[in-house]
Structure 1
Amino acid sequence: MHLLTPNHIQLVSACYPPSSALPTAGPDYSPNSQELSRLTYYAANRPGKISKLGSELDKRIKVDSRKAAAGNSRARATLLITLAIFKAIAAECRRDLALLSPALLSSVNATLSALPTDLEIAARAASVFTAWTTYTDGLVIGGDQRVTEDYMSCLQHFARLSHIDLADHESRNRTRLVGLAALASAVNSEALFHSQTHFHKQVQFLMRAILPLFFQVDVSVLDDQLADIKEQPNSPILDEFRSRPTLERRAASIHLHIDGDAGPTSADVANTALRATSSLLSHTNGFQASAVVKASLDTLDEMGGWDKVDHCRWLAERSAEWTQYQYRYGIPTRLVECLAECQDALQPTARHSTLAAMVTTVFTSPTPLVNLSTSDIISSLISITLRRLAVSSEDSLLPALVECISSLGTHVYYADQIQDLAAELISRLVIVEVNGISGIGKANLEPARIQAVRSLLAGLLGLIHAADLHDAGKDPEDEKKAGGTAATIPHNSDPRTSNEGHIRPSRRTKVTPETWQDTLSLLCDREYAIRADYAKALVEYIEMEIPKLGDKTDSDGVKRPRPIVEGPMHQASTVTALLYGDSTTRFLNALHAYAYALATSPTLGLLSSPSSPERMTPAPTANGEEVSASATEKSDVQSADRPSISVPPRSRRTSLISRLLKDAPSRLSVAGRVAADFSDIGNICAVLTAVHENLPVRSLLIGVPMLAALERATRASGELEPSTASVACAIKELVAKTWLVIGKVWNCPAVTEISQKALSALPPAAALPHLPDWQFGTLQPPQQAIPFPADLALSGPLPDIDTNTLLNAIADSQCVQEATGLGQADLLRRLDGAEWTANNAFRESMETKRRFESFSGDGLSPLVKVAPTLMHTENLSMQSLARSARAVGVTDLREALEGRSSMSNPNLAGRVPSISTLDHTSSVFPDGFSKLAPTRSRPQQRAKPRPGEVKDVLNKLGIGRPPTVNGSAILKSSFPGLQKTQSRTNKNPPAFPPYTT
């Protein structure tokens, strides 16, 4: 019985040329155009036949592939024609491409598996694959297991072609271009992004194929090709895909170079790889971009590319640039996570250092990184730094980690960002200063602590400096030439000025003195390397960061009054700040206390060091007796070993600081020694110079009493020993040079003349050392201390500095009187340091007077504080009044209910009419200012709360009447009259009952 051939098979067979013509069908190997049109028209109008057509073509391709692999030239020609038919049908039946997908992907996979080295067949198979990726919606990936496996296998084949290594340079580049063209089509296809599960696998194949191509050319070649891509966005090989709807897209025609033409170069291959990678990252979200970064890092592990640091840094920077604006934060976040994964390695590898360099490069690049969680990043970097120090105090990765922390300051996106990051660094710094690093042996505890403090301090200073550069808006190219952290943090530029030299206002919040004040104890650390680094950091903070608030000198370093800016209001605010304390005043009090202790104390550090010989000398007590340093050390160690349950860490630290400052003697003994070195005195001189030059008014009124006390401490009652004489001479030189700065700042020739005479009267000795050089954002080698000169030639007692004459001269200065608003007598009384001690100055830095608290609004009444809790409705105006630094407690609730008199809320004072603050004479304005007439307010009756409101609130808080024993209250009441009334009405209340009315 004769069976008729199905119509779709007849149409397919008609597309092939006669068998005799197959050997001469090249080089096009194209089907008959007229018959191909009939076939595509048939398939487009009969979707039900598409699956059968695909199966027929798939069967022919598999048969011809096996024959062509055996060397059959006719089968090879037929295979090329069949692939062309497949591409034509896929283009015409794009609406129903899902019906053709199983056969198409199976055919491409079978072709590449059978003929992996035939470049012409690979190019034709890549064209078929590109047509499918252009028009597919990607739904079959993950939905059909067989189709998914064929698709993944095709990607593997094209990835192999992309990085194939052949002896012939031209053939190698042609083969790589074919593979890259197919992979680029997959990058631009919905098949890549439809299934998140298979996205990771596809990205792994893509990055293993593309990434090695970047590392085979120089970075300069990559930059040139990247510039070419920006000028010509359209690829010469691929048409645009995702920019058009699916039905309007055009599939790329992948072909080989014509024989005789110049073959493709490595730059052409790099260009195609760049286009594919940039397209991949530009279409990803944050989660997908992180997956791409992970795949890239895994590829670097496999290929061993960590040694090529420049290529890795270039890749990290371009990855952030190519990623969408709102998802760029995922790039550095993933890099930091990878760096944290290998933080416990015993020895840092090239992977560690290169990852840190990549993080720094991303942060210092001009690419904005919005939505970046800087607090999480810096917390992770600090943890990695401390962990590496726990492994080894000399870890080679520390400088790179310091650069990472510093470079984070180049991205400032909200005003308080640097303030928050600095607070995080300082909090860790304070903990490490006292407690060291946990999880480390005693032998390595002190070296690790020193290196940790120095690393965090270097990161803190580099962070602030990088933020200033970001704020100044300097040209990135100029920044790269200047040096500093990586390529963008120069150490010799003024970030406050732009290229034109004018001063730009800062757009960020400066690090407040309250935040920085916790670090001042580092000035008296027991290790000189920390003291030297901190002295330099402190000078930079005073010069660049601390709020000046108009308290600054002119460009020539002279303080001149300005009639408008520094009028009576400025004088009033200055005196108020000095009398009642503001943040800068408290900071300066603490600074001068530490400076005095550093210059005179026999021991340094919050805990005694067992190895320093200076601390083994006797330490005089307040009664003139001497106790050995070993006893002091024993008490310090015992206090350090006590459980921290009874004493909070911050209170314990404050107690240790107070003990250090109390040990600072008021007068050097004849044979006494100090723990500081000669270079410490030079560092103090640099710090005090910066203070008086940048904060002349406050430093004058706060620092001069310290200078008087410091000079008085050098006046010995007898002949000094040579070692003590060197110390006293250096301190006198410090005091004289500081007075010389004061005279220059206030333009007071008398002070300058007396200071110069005092310096010339001192015996000749070595000049005070200068501060060490500093490169911001880098971890410098530890500084070595310079001891006091031992060859000081004394012909008699050291000459004293005439402090009284200096005080009279500075108090008599008209410029000083106008700037401070104080007369000569008031200035002398303020500047005299007869009662100044380091411990008292430290207390002034920690405590705030009550009166100033009431001025600042911190002394709110209890009723205002508890009002938002007691009110049913939301009253924003009332809640805005209850902003206090102190939490609301039981006492506040009782005072609010019982109507206790309050200085801050006169309405609760019973029937006594309140007195307005207008009837009090201002303590900050001169007497010449007019006063407003005093007024009295009408007495107001106290509103009684409804029973249900207050009772419910107090019962929830567990607050009831105080317990009684035999009818009398155990706790003494603040209001005996009310207590007696309650005891008469209810003689035997139960213990702790619910609050009742």
Structure 2
Amino acid sequence: MHLPFTPNHIQLITACYPPSAALLTSGPEYRPNSQELSRLTYYGANRPGKLNKLGGELEKRIKAECRKARAGNARARASLLISLSILKALATECRRDIALLTPPLLAAVEHTLGNFSVDLEVSAKVASLFRAWTTFTDGRLIGVDQNVTKDYLSILERFARMSTTVSITDDAEFRNRTRLVGLAALTGAVTSEALYASTTFRHQVSIIVPALLLNLQEVEISVLENESVTLKQKPSSPYLDEFRTRPAVERRAASIHLHVDGDKGPAMTDVSNSCLRALSSLFDHSNGAQVPYVVQAALNSLDEGNGWVKIEYCRWFAGKATEWTQYQYRYAVPTRLVERLQEDQDMPMTTPLHSALAAMVTTVFTSPTPLVNLSTSDIISNLITIVLRRAAIDPEDTLIFDLTECIASLGTHVYYADQIHDLAGELISRLVTVECNGIPARERERFANDRSRNQALRSLLAGLVGLIRAPGRNEANKEHSHNVSHSPRPGLDGSNANSGPSSPGGASSLVDTPVRISVEHADAPPRVAKRAKVQPETWQDTLNLLCAESYAVRSECARALIFYLESEISKRGEYTDDDGVRRLRPLTAGPVQHAGNMIAMLYGDDSTRFLHAVHVYLYALATAPSLGASSSSSSPSRSANGEDQDGTADGRDSPSRSHGRPSLSIPIRSRKQSMAQQLLEHIPSRLSSSALPSATASDYRNITSVLTTMHEHLPVRELLAGVPFLMALDSVASVGEAPEAEILARALIIKEVVARVWLTLGKIWDSSDIIALAEGALSSIPGGSHLPPAQPYQLGVLTAPEQPVQIKPVPENVANWSGIDCEAALAALTSNKNVLEATAMDSDALYARLASPWNVETALKNSVEPQSNYDALRGDGISPRLKLAPALMHIENMSLQSLTRSTRGVGVTDLRDALEGRSSMSNPALVNKAPSLSTLDHSSSPGDAPFHRLTQTRSRPEKPKLTGSPSEVRDMLNKLRIGRPGGTNSLLKASFPTMQRQETRSSTLIPPYKS
């Protein structure tokens, strides 16, 4: 019975409750009276101004019922459940004006959760009410109203604790039920505008994300993978996935129900499934500014729960987070991971955090999930900086190996043609800087700077190879398998693919010694992209490292160079048949393209210049008495493996030792040229005991591998550039009478290198004579091969540095072995049919070219592109438009004026320039050149009569003059139609009598094309 003067809204609310005697029997649904509830919702929907009163009354009732229920009053508990149902119905039906109901609703929810967090039935009712509110709210009050924001964040924290609760009674079913209730409420928040439209997004995700991840960490990775596949194939509700695009009046709030007693309780897979749905929805609905906050919340959760030790779980999360994020915002995930890694780059030791972050970055870059808008330049710059920092702290840091893999994985995603070229250029630029300047280390780390520098160089070289190799790994694997299966020459693993008969005298075991660098190709996901190749001019800056102090750096550089020669350098016009023999195939291209290829190979292009540069550094490596940047400095001499002769490794015990590096104020390019010149100045013309080469046996093996690769992949270019180099290298190994044992040992190994390269030449060009000469020389080496076998090597992966093998002592009868007869081999080569057809030269001309003396100065000059003397301002040199290949031109009129004709009009300025002598300076092609005949101002007519012959006109003066010449002024006046014979205007005709007299006295010349 209502009291007199009871407000209408209170009467409507009170009428919704069953009679007091029926409260205990209203379970388990605890529903209010349906007819009275309809009246209440109708009243609220049509009178929005009363919603605040309705909410306030319900809030007061709920707080009072909570207090009584906690004291053990069963009827109060039942009334509380009915009050929560009434409030949910009111929020659902009055969704248009739910902002008016928000303050009392959130206050009631927060108070109830604070008192009944253990009561699962009450918690489910509260979660259902909260999810109804999150469905219809626009979230504008969150972050604006202080009380509302406080209650909302407190509710999230309580549901987060509920979703990670641990059952006191060890009842797994009760624990999973409790977690599902909390996760259902968090899912409502994740799919609500209260999260994304609020200024408290960062605070909210810091509460929600850890609760989701802690549940996922308790599940095996295989279960998570299966649940992810199920989630992708069968989403729980497409309606909920689209809820943000629907207006509020069309949305439906999900109901949360407890599990029915007696049925099989929920398993941990159900909990993980709910977490996956909430987490995927969170990433899917976040924009580019919000995704980093979500990732940061996940990283903080891993910090608090020591989740970094679970590397596989971290890798799984990074891959899924990238996949779930919207296409245009995925770049934010790896960017934030790299930034987090950079924040901890100065830690003294590598922690599980570093290893896990590096693994997560690699996983993101190697995944098939496409990434757009990713700033690859910034990413690789940050990774390189971290590599250098870790190398400065500890050269043996394991994180350097992981970071090398990160750099290599960045090449998996190629989105524009020059991306790999740009990234490789960035890496090579940092390589050059580290090589010249070293690593800026702290004061306490200055003694380890050499070791740090060498490790950083090796890491960047391995990352460079992996970066270039990443886009086309499958193609590289196929090509590698093809070469090993069909090539008759030694394979990359050192074995000989040709199982044919060998020469007598045990030649098979000696000739087929595995001295080449061995490569193991790892499997990779199928991702092939069209991209621009790395230019030889760019890679050429790394060749200095072939002569580095440390053998580990030299070996890494040689491996990288072999990879570049095999798969990256331009092979225009170069091809071999399936049997490995280089034969002429002119029909593979058109005549113009074939002619262009021949011109490029015979007269040189960027690939040829690169080969010349490689020969220079290989020659220095094979013959120089000291290697590295300090070869010409006053620092203590060092052995080839990077140790001082006094026994101190890398100079760590001698802080006063000078590194001999140039001043930092000199440009890097100039420093590199200076270093090369200093290295070449100490190269002897003959082996001597005073200038004994410092290269090890492993260095000579690497030289053999590089030369063999160049001949295999660039046969014509290397034939023309490399054979003179072989002759010069063989002449260096020629020793006089009674040489010392050390000189004999180095002469023997150099001659073995020459013989093995000649053997490769014979197989490539199918010359049986050269093969016989090389195999005969190799089979007769005293004591067998002196080149050590190569260790297997995986491309793009930084491994432990290889220890060099020193040169073996020479046997007693070594003086009787003279190696291969290079003169006989050269004669056989220049008479080979395949060689003559490939070079389009006769035997005598080819012999003259290949037998020409080779020296480092000429090769170094040929390794640089010749600079044009053309100056656009002064007009020096030949105009660029005249740089045309005469062999491809069929133009009879080759006059300079016809090639440099301008279409612009002639004005007073041109006349002034002619009078002042500047007219010729405006045309670069007409300055300081021999005079030519012009046909611009003469009309041609048929017949060969003498009066039809052209009158000679000088297109420019033979010598520079300070004043204008009469011919130039006359031509300019004729163009302006001033004083022209027969013209209407002849006012200035008598102004130049001297010029007219000179014109009448000019003799008639016969053009060059007349007989």
Question: Quick check: TM above 0.5?
Answer: yes
Does residue 713 of the first structure (1) align with residue 732 of the second (2)? yes
- SS of the residue 1:36 aligns to: helix
Query: CA–CA distance in 1 between the matches of 2:131 and 2:528?
Result: 55
Moved over 6 A (4+): 236-240, 470-474, 614-617, 851-854, 857-860, 907-911, 935-942
User: Offset of 1:572 from its aligned partner?
Assistant: 4.3
User: Offset of 1:201 from its aligned partner?
Assistant: 0.5
User: Offset of 1:103 from its aligned partner?
Assistant: 0.9
Paired residue for 2:510? none
- Code of the aligned partner of 1:534: C
Match 2:661 to one of 640, 652, 660: 640
User: Offset of 1:858 from its aligned partner?
Assistant: 12
Paired residue for 2:332? 330
Paired residue for 1:391? 393
User: Offset of 1:731 from its aligned partner?
Assistant: 0.7
User: Offset of 1:565 from its aligned partner?
Assistant: 3.1
Paired residue for 1:411? 413
Paired residue for 1:114? 115
Query: CA–CA distance in 2 between the matches of 1:81 and 1:220?
Result: 43
Match 1:184 to one of 164, 183, 187: 187
Contact 2:137 2:192 in 1 (8 A): yes
Number of paired residues?
865
Query: CA–CA distance in 2 between the matches of 1:236 and 1:904?
Result: 72
User: Offset of 1:583 from its aligned partner?
Assistant: 1.1
For residues 720-799 of structure 1, the aligned pairs below 5 Å read 720-794=739-813, 796-799=815-818
The structure-2 alpha-carbon separation of the partners of 1:614 and 1:64, relative to structure 1 and needing over 3 Å to count, comes to: closer
Does residue 519 of the first structure (1) align with residue 556 of the second (2)? no
- Code of the aligned partner of 1:843: K
The structure-2 alpha-carbon separation of the partners of 1:613 and 1:397, relative to structure 1 and needing over 3 Å to count, comes to: closer
Paired residue for 1:585? 608
Paired residue for 1:216? 218
- Code of the aligned partner of 1:375: S
Contact 2:933 2:952 in 1 (8 A): yes
User: Offset of 1:765 from its aligned partner?
Assistant: 3.1
User: Offset of 1:977 from its aligned partner?
Assistant: 2.4
Does residue 596 of the first structure (1) align with residue 619 of the second (2)? yes
For residues 285-324 of structure 1, the aligned pairs below 5 Å read 285-324=287-326
- Code of the aligned partner of 1:612: R
User: Offset of 1:905 from its aligned partner?
Assistant: 2.8
**Cα deviation code 1:526-566 (max 9, x no counterpart):** 11111112212211111111111131212221101003236
For residues 163-562 of structure 1, the aligned pairs below 5 Å read 163-166=164-167, 167-195=170-198, 197-235=199-237, 241-242=243-244, 244-440=246-442, 441-469=445-473, 492-493=520-521, 507-562=530-585
The structure-2 alpha-carbon separation of the partners of 1:941 and 1:574, relative to structure 1 and needing over 3 Å to count, comes to: closer
Query: CA–CA distance in 2 between the matches of 1:908 and 1:721?
Result: 60
The structure-2 alpha-carbon separation of the partners of 1:850 and 1:296, relative to structure 1 and needing over 3 Å to count, comes to: same
- Code of the aligned partner of 1:169: A
Contact 2:869 2:876 in 1 (8 A): no
User: Offset of 1:277 from its aligned partner?
Assistant: 0.5
The structure-2 alpha-carbon separation of the partners of 1:387 and 1:940, relative to structure 1 and needing over 3 Å to count, comes to: farther
Paired residue for 1:837? 855
- SS of the residue 1:846 aligns to: coil
Query: CA–CA distance in 1 between the matches of 2:917 and 2:780?
Result: 70
The structure-2 alpha-carbon separation of the partners of 1:506 and 1:281, relative to structure 1 and needing over 3 Å to count, comes to: closer
Contact 2:626 2:638 in 1 (8 A): no
Query: CA–CA distance in 2 between the matches of 1:745 and 1:592?
Result: 20
- SS of the residue 1:686 aligns to: helix
- Code of the aligned partner of 1:92: E
Contact 1:581 1:848 in 2 (8 A): no
Query: CA–CA distance in 1 between the matches of 2:197 and 2:640?
Result: 71
- Code of the aligned partner of 1:280: L
Query: CA–CA distance in 2 between the matches of 1:566 and 1:9?
Result: 94
530-539 or 201-210, which deviates more? 530-539
Query: CA–CA distance in 2 between the matches of 1:346 and 1:558?
Result: 55
**Cα deviation code 1:349-383 (max 9, x no counterpart):** 11111001000011111100011111110000000
- SS of the residue 2:200 aligns to: helix
Give the TM-score taking structure 1 as reference length: 0.81
- Code of the aligned partner of 1:301: D
- Code of the aligned partner of 2:858: N
The structure-2 alpha-carbon separation of the partners of 1:691 and 1:863, relative to structure 1 and needing over 3 Å to count, comes to: closer
The structure-2 alpha-carbon separation of the partners of 1:675 and 1:937, relative to structure 1 and needing over 3 Å to count, comes to: farther
**Cα deviation code 1:82-117 (max 9, x no counterpart):** 000000011110111111111111110111112221
**Cα deviation code 1:668-699 (max 9, x no counterpart):** 12665211001111111111111101000000
Paired residue for 2:38? 37
Contact 1:766 1:789 in 2 (8 A): no
After superposition, the CA RMSD in angstroms is: 3.6
Contact 2:473 2:528 in 1 (8 A): no
The structure-2 alpha-carbon separation of the partners of 1:758 and 1:198, relative to structure 1 and needing over 3 Å to count, comes to: same
**Cα deviation code 1:962-986 (max 9, x no counterpart):** xxxxxxxxxxxx9562599xxxxxx
Contact 1:542 1:691 in 2 (8 A): yes
Paired residue for 1:665? 684
User: Offset of 1:590 from its aligned partner?
Assistant: 0.6
- SS of the residue 2:962 aligns to: helix
The higher radius of gyration belongs to 2
- Code of the aligned partner of 2:447: A
Does residue 146 of the first structure (1) align with residue 147 of the second (2)? yes
**Cα deviation code 1:260-319 (max 9, x no counterpart):** 111111100000000000011101111111110011101111111111111111000000
Contact 2:327 2:371 in 1 (8 A): yes
- SS of the residue 1:762 aligns to: coil
Contact 2:770 2:825 in 1 (8 A): yes
- Code of the aligned partner of 1:275: R
Paired residue for 1:484? none
5+ unaligned residues in a row in structure 1: which ranges?
475-489, 618-629, 865-880, 883-892, 917-934, 943-973, 981-997
The structure-2 alpha-carbon separation of the partners of 1:76 and 1:819, relative to structure 1 and needing over 3 Å to count, comes to: same
**Cα deviation code 1:38-94 (max 9, x no counterpart):** 111111121121111111101101111121122221111111000000000111101
Contact 2:128 2:185 in 1 (8 A): yes
Contact 1:615 1:675 in 2 (8 A): no
- SS of the residue 1:24 aligns to: coil
Query: CA–CA distance in 2 between the matches of 1:915 and 1:830?
Result: 42
User: Offset of 1:809 from its aligned partner?
Assistant: 1.4
Query: CA–CA distance in 2 between the matches of 1:73 and 1:849?
Result: 97
Contact 1:551 1:695 in 2 (8 A): yes
Contact 1:580 1:849 in 2 (8 A): no
Contact 1:915 1:937 in 2 (8 A): no
- Code of the aligned partner of 1:599: A
- Code of the aligned partner of 2:755: A
Match 2:864 to one of 834, 838, 846: 846
- Code of the aligned partner of 2:177: R
Query: CA–CA distance in 1 between the matches of 2:86 and 2:597?
Result: 89
Give the TM-score taking structure 2 as reference length: 0.80
- SS of the residue 1:839 aligns to: helix
198-207 or 844-853, which deviates more? 844-853
For residues 552-951 of structure 1, the aligned pairs below 5 Å read 552-565=575-588, 569=592, 572-574=595-597, 576-577=599-600, 581-608=604-631, 610=636, 612-613=638-639, 640=661, 643-645=663-665, 647-669=666-688, 672-794=691-813, 796-799=815-818, 801-834=820-853, 836-848=854-866, 850=868, 861=879, 898-900=918-920, 905-906=925-926, 913=933
User: Offset of 1:153 from its aligned partner?
Assistant: 1.2
User: Offset of 1:517 from its aligned partner?
Assistant: 0.8
Query: CA–CA distance in 1 between the matches of 2:541 and 2:772?
Result: 37
Contact 2:107 2:151 in 1 (8 A): yes
- Code of the aligned partner of 2:576: T
- SS of the residue 1:704 aligns to: helix
The structure-2 alpha-carbon separation of the partners of 1:616 and 1:240, relative to structure 1 and needing over 3 Å to count, comes to: closer
Paired residue for 2:962? 977
The structure-2 alpha-carbon separation of the partners of 1:370 and 1:937, relative to structure 1 and needing over 3 Å to count, comes to: farther
- Code of the aligned partner of 2:616: A
Query: CA–CA distance in 2 between the matches of 1:279 and 1:156?
Result: 19
User: Offset of 1:136 from its aligned partner?
Assistant: 0.9
Q: Give identity over the alignment, percent.
A: 51
Paired residue for 1:132? 133
- SS of the residue 2:243 aligns to: coil
- Code of the aligned partner of 2:830: A
User: Offset of 1:244 from its aligned partner?
Assistant: 3.2
